[in-house]
Chain A
Amino acid sequence: MLFRKGNLNRERFERMAFSVYDSLYGTALRLTRDREEASDLTQETLVRAYEAFDRFDGRNFKAWMLRIQTNLYINRYRKRRREGLTTALDDDDVHLEPVAPPAEAPDRMMLDNLIGAEIEDALAQLPDTFRLAVVLSDIEELSYDEIAEITQVPVGTVRSRIARGRAQLRKILAKYAKDQGYIREVSAE
């Protein structure tokens, strides 16, 4: 009886996990910025989730998995690279200037010229907390509430992180486009 139940659980878990696997792996890759570490983190997430699958409340599997992954990343990977990440993870209070000069609209041509790898590079330059918030919001298309649950911070902090993350990303991309000659000037000078 338990064998049968176990098999059903496994099948169900595998099916659900596969449906969010690309998101898990992608988020792991964007968090760790290393294929091997991303692979480790994803595997560990799947193992932990499978072990705790009985406790899954059945509501939002993707958010549940991403929460496990984020916790693992915070506990495991941050420890490993604590020095490099301390600033990045505590920088909610960092003051970021609005990067777009007043009244300047985004140059769609500039953005259209950018390829995925360039955007990923820019994303990788964001501090961890901002990057995670932007990734979960704009790539994984999760709501602010879901992101707050996954990252275990108040929803107000999530709003702030997303806005700041985008602002910083915009600055990096504008500089990149300028360096590459996609645009001559971004600022209103």
Chain B
Amino acid sequence: MNEKQIQVNRLADGDLTESESSELKAELTNDPNLASELEWAQCLKQQLKEKCHTVGCQQTWQASLLRLDAIDKTKRAEYFVGKYAWAVCGVFLVALVSAAVLNRMNPTRHLTETQVAGLFNSFRAEGGSATRGTVVDPFPGGPPLTFQSFYRVSSAENGFADGHEAVRFRVDDGRGGFAVIYVSKASGVEGFSGTNAFRLGLINGQRSVTVRHGEGLLMVMGDRGFDELQEEILRLINR
């Protein structure tokens, strides 16, 4: 394929400048081979244009539109998530915080084991006090507790257990220490069981006995048998 043949095809396609075109046309008059080349190029162009028609497949077009729909759908979802995700998260967070606040404001009467375990931590060493052989009111207007004369009360602390006011005494009766806890407006501890008024269970591996006392729950726990702990409770509530 020489340069002249390429130029002839360019002439057929109208790709030559005016001067190139005039120059080539002059050559064509003197060169029948080139003139033939031009005629062939023009004929082929015409044949291809006239006889090669394709009508796009309708099925393919419809399938393409479905794919474009899918893209639009994804774009819309991405747009929505991009714009409103923070709002959805915010609402969720507010709901979570509100639920937590409501829970704190309206504690259930039934304590869970973990709540009870919390009674051993974070109490303030101030407030309530007791001395040997005295009757103490854990809370103003609450039921009294009687401390026997042979009790030695080493500490009395006030605090909260899941929103419930609580008071905790550390007591030694000469046979070892035990803890006396009174939680106001509580009725029991989940997982504790018993057939009479007493409910027995283990908290942090320690035996514990609870009983309803006034509007609250009295608990005694220590490293001794359930029977002995029940006896201590009876002494405390003076029965």
Contacts of B43 in A (CB 8 A): 106, 108, 111
**Distance A17 CA – B10 CA, assembled complex (angstroms):** 30
Contacts of A21 in B (CB 8 A): 56, 61
**Distance A21 CA – B11 CA, assembled complex (angstroms):** 29
Is there contact, CB below 8 Å, between A144 and B60? Answer: no
Is there contact, CB below 8 Å, between B15 and A167? Answer: no
Is there contact, CB below 8 Å, between B60 and A25? Answer: yes
Is there contact, CB below 8 Å, between B15 and A25? Answer: no
**Distance A29 CA – B60 CA, assembled complex (angstroms):** 12
Is there contact, CB below 8 Å, between B44 and A166? Answer: yes
Q: If the complex has contacts A29-B54, A111-B43, are A143 and B15 also in contact, measured as CB distance less than 8 A?
A: yes
Is there contact, CB below 8 Å, between B45 and A43? Answer: no
Is there contact, CB below 8 Å, between B44 and A169? Answer: yes
Q: If the complex has contacts A47-B64, A166-B41, are A144 and B13 also in contact, measured as CB distance less than 8 A?
A: yes
Is there contact, CB below 8 Å, between A119 and B1? Answer: no
Minimum distance in angstroms from B177 CB to a CB of chain A: 70
Contacts of B63 in A (CB 8 A): 39, 43
Is there contact, CB below 8 Å, between B1 and A96? Answer: yes
Is there contact, CB below 8 Å, between A25 and B57? Answer: yes
Which A3-31 residues have C-beta < 8 A from chain B?
Answer: 3, 6, 10, 13-14, 17-18, 21-22, 24-26, 29-30
**Distance A107 CA – B239 CA, assembled complex (angstroms):** 130
Q: Assess whether B102 is interfacial by the CB under 8 Å rule.
A: no
| Cβ contacts B215-231/A at 8 Å (1 or 0 each) | 00000000000000000
Is there contact, CB below 8 Å, between A105 and B54? Answer: no
Q: Assess whether A42 is interfacial by the CB under 8 Å rule.
A: yes
Question: Which one of A63-71, A72-80, A81-89, A132-140 is at the B interface?
Answer: A132-140
Q: Categorize the interface residue count of chain A.
A: 35 or more
Which A101-152 residues have C-beta < 8 A from chain B?
Answer: 102-106, 108, 111, 114-116, 119-120, 123, 134, 137-139, 141, 143-144
Contacts of B35 in A (CB 8 A): 105
Is there contact, CB below 8 Å, between B76 and A104? Answer: no
Q: Assess whether A170 is interfacial by the CB under 8 Å rule.
A: yes
- Across chains A and B, the number of contacting residue pairs, with CB separation under 8 Å, is 137
Q: Assess whether B89 is interfacial by the CB under 8 Å rule.
A: no
Contacts of A42 in B (CB 8 A): 56-57, 60, 64
Question: Which one of B66-74, B112-120, B122-130, B149-157 is at the A interface?
Answer: B66-74
Contacts of A13 in B (CB 8 A): 68
Which B29-67 residues have C-beta < 8 A from chain A?
Answer: 32-33, 35-37, 39-41, 43-45, 47-49, 51-57, 59-61, 63-65, 67
Q: Assess whether A57 is interfacial by the CB under 8 Å rule.
A: no
Is there contact, CB below 8 Å, between B56 and A159? Answer: no
Q: If the complex has contacts A43-B64, A159-B10, are A6 and B1 also in contact, measured as CB distance less than 8 A?
A: no
Smallest CB gap from A2: residue in B: B79
Contacts of A164 in B (CB 8 A): 1
Contacts of A26 in B (CB 8 A): 52-54, 56
Smallest CB gap from A99: residue in B: B40
Is there contact, CB below 8 Å, between A137 and B13? Answer: yes
Smallest CB gap from B65: residue in A: A14
Minimum distance in angstroms from B15 CB to a CB of chain A: 5
Contacts of A10 in B (CB 8 A): 68, 72
**Distance A160 CA – B1 CA, assembled complex (angstroms):** 8
Is there contact, CB below 8 Å, between B36 and A106? Answer: yes
- List 12 additional contacts besides A163-B5, A164-B1; criterion CB under 8 Å: A6-B72, A39-B57, A39-B59, A42-B64, A100-B37, A103-B33, A111-B44, A138-B45, A144-B10, A144-B15, A166-B9, A166-B40
Minimum distance in angstroms from B139 CB to a CB of chain A: 61
Is there contact, CB below 8 Å, between B36 and A170? Answer: no
Is there contact, CB below 8 Å, between A170 and B9? Answer: no
Partner of A50, one of B2, B48, B53, B68: B68
